[in-house]
Structure 1
Amino acid sequence: MTSLKDNFNGIQEYADDQGLDLGWIDRQGEWGVKASADGAKGLTLNDTQIGSYGDPPEESDNMTGKPRGAAARPNAYRIGGYQVRTKSDIWLTNASMLYEEALQRQWSSATDIPWQAIKPLPDDIERAQCQLATFLTEVEFVAADIPGRWVASTTPDYFEPRMFLITQIMDESRHLDVFRKRALANGGGLLQRPDINVTTSGVVGSIDLSRDFTEMSSRLHISGEGAVLTIFRMGELMAYNDAEKRIYRLAAQDESRHVAFGVMHMRYLAETEPDRKEEIHEYLDEGERSLVSGSQNPAARDSAQSESLSILLGGGQKNFDEGYRKLLAIRKRQAKEYVQRIRSAGFGERFENGRANPELMEYVRS
């Protein structure tokens, strides 16, 4: 039986006879690597993190799009203006796992939602549903749009977080899609977009103008998506049919991955770049203000979204006060879940030294 080495030698002899240059064959990354698949999960990204292929550099000078572990080509063009080339600026320990989970849990807003379960609702409840759906359509557009800008700005040496962000773009696009469909599925429609002074536009601008990835992630994944995740988890309280219940369950499943990404990135940064902790606390100061008074949180006070939630939670406008009491319970849960995330990320000292937003902490203590 002819061996691989014999075949290669034969090819080399033919190339020499014909004057062909096969020098590229010898320019390779680490050779002799064999990734083994897990029987239940298949061949995952984690399974391929072997030898030099699983060792991202602390600093990357890769400006050519070269895959991590591949041999460099000296005359390659500099095709990437990669802004993120320091590992701690974007890294987290479980990006590969979150990416694999995202692949396995994709769903379709067209076929996985029982749209036929939606029946006519009282006008005040339908209007409240449509106002909330209008708000969520906008914020999910932002949550898809902004990460995309950081994908192209990150060196391929840190491809794991890049690939996760691509799944987030798909997730958020689907959320935009499903909430738009809900607004149009029951005789209602889209209502007025959020007011610039009290809802999304201000914080969206700050996310969009973020100077580095961690600044963006603290605002988007921690403050923004964390607040929305609590709403999705409590979705059954404001759902009036199986379609709406299913929407909130599936959206919460996606959103929990995005929040976990932000928490794990902040934890990695706290452990590897402790000198940046004060900078991150500044971002958290801003995020906490938005959690309690408008901005991207639909349950924050003094917004059309919070009024819509009160109507939905109470079972109609006539039960607004009862709905508002339930909304206060959601705010408390948002605050407590936020505190848990920040502690997990390694920034819990802000809750001990009095730095945390006083109004936010009132919800935690109540």
Structure 2
Amino acid sequence: MTNPAEPVVDLETLSFEQGAHLLVQQELLGLRPGQRLGVTGADPALVVHLEVWCRAHGHRVTPALDTDFGVRAWVERGRADLDRWAGAQRAGAPGVDGIVADPPSDWGLAARGALIEVGGPQTPFDITHRDLVWAEIAPALYANAASAQWDPNTAIDWSAPVDNAPEVERAVVQVMTYLIENEQAALVIPAKLLARVHPHFREVLQLLAVQAADEARHMEVFTRRALLTGHEMGTSAVSGRESLSTLLHEAEFSMASFLLSVLGEGSFLNLLEFLDKNAPDPVTRMVTRLARRDEARHVAFGVAHLRHQATLDPDVHRRMRMAVERRYDALVDTAGLNQDVFDSLVILAAGAWTPQAIAKGYEAVMRLQSEMDDGRQRRLVHLGFSGDEAADLSALHTKNFM
């Protein structure tokens, strides 16, 4: 006879092929191992399917007696579903405050805060410690970046008049060619780092992904501006490609961020401001202005990350110094900034073809380089270097700006 205290679930016409197991499973959650659940329903195959499901989940099924008043089978709750999660742990908590400093490799792609079943495949992420990638500003920067995305088709008026003199337009095209080259490197580097960071640090992944998306968009708008009037692309110097190649070979997350974002993109902020100020047409002004806004976020994360590192690792300043010196040694025999790029910047700042105007343009480019140097020194001092150290390291930075 059925025990009135024992629960019974009526599946009515619902079959296991339609999800009946969910109702059985829900009722079993309220029972202790060894307690029984009666199951009834109108599906002719109910008992057969119930036995298969219970066998897979560690429960025991016994046939019902004729006196069990409509119950077709009894399910005795087993321990297998409990044992499966024995030793499981939460992967931190969902929010930023729940980050685990050193998440195990076998957590893999599990969401932060999920209950992690013991075992699982080892993952290929080699940057697995919070302090190697973190900056407290990362979540806020990602939120800002996500809300500040812009569409090249609507944010820029591509139909605005561009009636530059041929030599001025060639200068614009040359500068855009140079910018594309640098932005391609600035896309590849965060993309490479992104694939190495443990997904537990999701805010950093999100920020790096948006950074790569920013650079992809910059490549698009600089290319569209270069080709807008039918000119061919400008020149690409070996020295420029050699300079960017040294960035690609920097394996350590913090040092790659330091060289690319703190020094390189930091200098690019000055360059983009220069181009905004000296743009000969509204399209050039808009593409450089929008790109500069994005680049400022990249620099902010790089600086914040290195500041975080400096509070934890007293050796980080030595490693930064070595990274700069290593890159300088690799580039010491290169020619420096592409002469075509330098001359194009002079032409854009000159605004006319007179000796006085060219002199003014030359002075403006010299001032740009001085402003880049000042900006690098300020960021280095902000990271904890002395004024003299900052000046020495800034002087070793590549003449190719990035």
Which is higher, the Rg of structure 1 or of structure 2?
2
In the alignment, structure 1 residue 303 sits paired with structure 2 residue 339: yes
Distance 1:342 1:218, change over 3 A: same
Residue 104 of structure 2 corresponds to 61
Q: Do 2:161 and 2:281's aligned partners in 1 also have CA atoms closer than 8 Å?
A: yes
Return the structure number with greater helix share: 1
Residue 364 of structure 1 corresponds to none
Residue 3 of structure 1 corresponds to none
Aligned pair partner of 2:195 in 152, 163, 167: 152
Deviations 1:256-289 (CA, angstroms, capped at 9, x unpaired): 0001111011101110111232011222345679
Deviations 1:113-149 (CA, angstroms, capped at 9, x unpaired): 0111132211110000000001111111111112111
Deviations 1:159-205 (CA, angstroms, capped at 9, x unpaired): 21111000001100000000000011123231222x113x2x12221
Q: 1:56 Cα deviation (Å)?
A: 2.2
Distance 1:29 1:88, change over 3 A: closer
In the alignment, structure 1 residue 281 sits paired with structure 2 residue 324: no
In the alignment, structure 1 residue 267 sits paired with structure 2 residue 311: no
Residue 114 of structure 2 corresponds to 70
Q: Count how many residue pairs are aligned between Structure 1 and Structure 2.
A: 326
Q: Which moved more, 1:10-19 or 1:223-232?
A: 10-19
Deviations 1:232-268 (CA, angstroms, capped at 9, x unpaired): 1232322122222211211111000001111011101
For structure 1, the 5+ residue unaligned runs are 1-7, 34-47, 361-366
Q: Partners of 1:353 and 1:134 in 2: how far apart?
A: 31
Residue 298 of structure 2 corresponds to 258
Q: Which moved more, 1:110-119 or 1:173-182?
A: 110-119
Residue 209 of structure 2 corresponds to 166
- SS of 1:110's equivalent in the other structure is helix
Letter in 2 for 1:356: L
Q: Partners of 1:124 and 1:184 in 2: how far apart?
A: 15
Q: Partners of 2:159 and 2:390 in 1: how far apart?
A: 52
Letter in 2 for 1:329: R
Q: Do 1:310 and 1:320's aligned partners in 2 also have CA atoms closer than 8 Å?
A: yes
Deviations 1:89-120 (CA, angstroms, capped at 9, x unpaired): 21111111111111111111122101111322
Distance 1:292 1:342, change over 3 A: farther
Q: Partners of 1:219 and 1:100 in 2: how far apart?
A: 24
Q: Partners of 2:278 and 2:329 in 1: how far apart?
A: 25
Structure 1 residues 18-167: aligned runs within 5 Å = 18=50, 20=54, 21=57, 29=90, 49=95, 54-63=97-106, 64-78=108-122, 80-167=123-210
Aligned pair partner of 2:386 in 336, 342, 349: 349
Aligned pair partner of 1:12 in 13, 26, 37: 26
Distance 1:343 1:287, change over 3 A: farther
Distance 1:243 1:291, change over 3 A: farther
Residue 45 of structure 2 corresponds to none
Q: Do 1:219 and 1:287's aligned partners in 2 also have CA atoms closer than 8 Å?
A: no
- SS of 1:119's equivalent in the other structure is coil
- Structure with the greater relative contact order (CA < 8 A, sep ≥ 6): 1 or 2? 1
Q: Partners of 2:337 and 2:179 in 1: how far apart?
A: 17
Q: 1:302 Cα deviation (Å)?
A: 5.9
TM-score under structure 1 normalisation?
Answer: 0.80
Return the structure number with greater strand share: 2
For structure 2, the 5+ residue unaligned runs are 1-21, 30-36, 40-49, 58-80, 398-402
TM-score under structure 2 normalisation?
Answer: 0.73
- SS of 2:174's equivalent in the other structure is helix
